[in-house]
Amino acid sequence: MPDQSKIRAIIVDDESDARDVLRKMIIAFVSEVEVVADYENPEEAVKGIREYGPDLVFLDIQMPGMSGFKLMEQFPNPSFRVIFVTAFNQYAIRAIRLSALDYLLKPVDIDELTGAVARFQRQSGTDSQQFQALQHNLAQKHRLSLPSEQGLELIDLEDLLYLEADSNYTHLYLTDRKKITVSKTLRVFEEYFEGTNFYRCHYSFIINLSRIKKYMRGEGGSVIMENGVEIPVSRRRKPGLLDGMTNLD
């Protein structure tokens, strides 16, 4: 019979070796977690999650027949939390981080595992809003969805002028003069925007290249955005900026 004082977990992964290794790591290094079941088949996992009602699911992303993301669509209002486990798909990882969900990279590192469980213990509630944000960010490449205390902030990327770092927070400035603050570092956005028209031109700023009004020459120089705000450009990021400005999508 499961120990009700422990975090009740389920592992879902189509690779038997990966399930066995993760189970053994949990037994050896994360005593506060009890694995009540594990599944190779995602369809069976859906049934098992409903049967066991776990607190936490370690969920592989890429599985035949049904991805981890598709599995989560079966639970629009989950009563459990999820830690994704993956070895692939950098874009998906960026979307997971932006949506304030947690993940582990294969092969799973012990310190990363214990850190993820510690974060689970510090947080409360479920991941409903985060999953909604993740689904939006995976499906809509031209729109950004960010979980907030009030719900979801939906932002058309063409309306986003620039982002400014503020310690562990980021301020987003829109064309309608609206300012949105989220509890994510600028680094998370930099990773998410890789390969797009957004460029980190300075330690503290990411700008929308298509919303630059003017470039001002200098050691690094600066850019004037469409709203008239002048943003500095660091010397080492100047070449990338000029290249990006001439190769806009």
HSE toward the beta carbon, residue 14, CA cutoff 13 A: 14
pLDDT at 149 over 80: no
Helices 90-98 and 128-139, packing angle to 10 deg:
140
Query: How many angstroms separate the CA atoms of 175 and 178, rounded?
Result: 7
Structure tokens at 97: 């981080």
191-240 per-position pLDDT tens digit: 888 888 999 999 999 999 999 999 998 777 899 999 999 999 999 999 99
Q: What percent of the chain has pLDDT over 70?
A: 92
Q: Model pTM greater than 0.75?
A: no
CA-to-CA separations, 76 to 131, 193, 241, in angstroms, rounded: 8, 27, 41
Three-state secondary-structure class, residue 46: helix
63-84 per-position pLDDT tens digit: 888 889 889 989 988 889 999 9
The owner of tokens 């990773």 is: 191
Phi and psi, residue 59, nearest 5°: -125, 120
